[in-house]
Structure 1
Amino acid sequence: MTRRQEILACAKTLFREHGYKSVSMRDMAQQMNLKAASLYNHIASKEEILAEITLNLAHKFTDEMSMVKKIQADSITKLEAVINHHVDITLKDPEAIAIVNNDWVHLKGANFDEFIKLRDGYEQDLRAIISAGVKSGELKAKSEEVILFAMLSTLRTLHSWYRKRSGIEGQQLKNDITEILLKGVTK
């Protein structure tokens, strides 16, 4: 692991535990047993760290959505792929998910604009899959916006819930969330 990767890993943990605004470069240096000035040899600013974490994750989601859109399959299959991807990333990098959910608002300028563009594009693509599913009769003709909200709310907060209830195997978690989000909880 490079020093830059170590700094990013440390920042992810501290940002998740304390929030971006509460963490200083000095806090990161102290956590890594370095002098604060040493961090600046690898990272220009705390904002740069936040931008790298949030934009890398936003690009992962956007890239995955691009692949899902190319799948020649029904809407249910595409939604299952989206859910599985969210669960995989949550299990692999819960800190980044937490930071994206809680701290993206601290991005500035072009980084903020890029994040909003990626997030809005992802949501629009998910909305289109849901809409196609409603139009084809695969999904019950409910409010598409409520379906979108229910899916994104569950998937975006999974990191927090799972952290407190770990022990559920990843594939079982994918299966259960997919079943509940796409088929509900009644028989």
Structure 2
Amino acid sequence: MSKETRKEEIIRVAAKLFKEKGYSAVTMRYLAEAMGIKAASLYNHIDSKQAILQHIVLAIAEDFTKGMNTVVASNENSFVKLQKIIELHVNIAVENADGLAALNSDWMHLEGKLSYYLSLRQTYEANFKSIVEKGIIENEIKPVNPEVLMFSMLSTLRSLYLWIPKKDIVDPQALSRDLCQILLTGINK
């Protein structure tokens, strides 16, 4: 494993602080103090707090987009595609719960990149809904309102960042399997 660069460290610590305090409450001075360095030193590695937020949010949004594009392009049926989407969310949440918190809570603070982020999000949700609709048409999924199903699943998946850090060990495969069971086949015996 390669050693973390100073820029990567700044982004990681900032994501944690954004999660704990909220983007608006974290200043570059506060970030520098949390890292034990002078605020001026931060600017040798990153331009601004906004640049940090953009990096965090857009990197994760692009990871979701890349994952969704792979799912959409696959020849799997809709049910399997939904399983793959659950796995995608679990893996991203396990790898970067703090960054996911910033994506979910602070995306609206993106200044010059807000429209780009919203475009990624809208396309992601349109693809998700399309998979659900196709699954309903092909009788793989019960005939329910596709938007309600999508909202229900995404509400659970987008909040994984709240639950995962409270666990000592998270097995992504087991978590994905359990979420697929609950979200896709239900709890009815």
TM range (shorter): over 0.9
Residue aligning to 1:14 = 17
Residue aligning to 1:83 = 86
Residue aligning to 1:131 = 133
CA positional deviation for 1:130: 0.5
CA distance in 1, matches of 2:115, 2:59: 14
CA positional deviation for 1:167: 3.9
CA distance in 2, matches of 1:170, 1:55: 23
Residue aligning to 1:43 = 46
Residue aligning to 2:35 = 32
Q: 1:51-96: CA deviations, max 9, x gaps?
A: 0100000000000111111111100111111100100111111011
Q: Which runs of 5+ in 1 are unaligned?
A: none
Residue aligning to 1:102 = 105
RMSD: 1.0
Residue 152 (str. 1) matches residue 154 (str. 2): yes
CA positional deviation for 1:166: 4.4
CA positional deviation for 1:169: 2.5
TM-score, normalised to structure 2's length?
A: 0.95
Quick one: percent identity of the two aligned structures?
41
CA distance in 2, matches of 1:166, 1:79: 27
CA distance in 1, matches of 2:69, 2:30: 38
CA distance in 1, matches of 2:91, 2:5: 24
Residue aligning to 2:165 = 163
CA positional deviation for 1:168: 4.6
Q: Which runs of 5+ in 2 are unaligned?
A: none
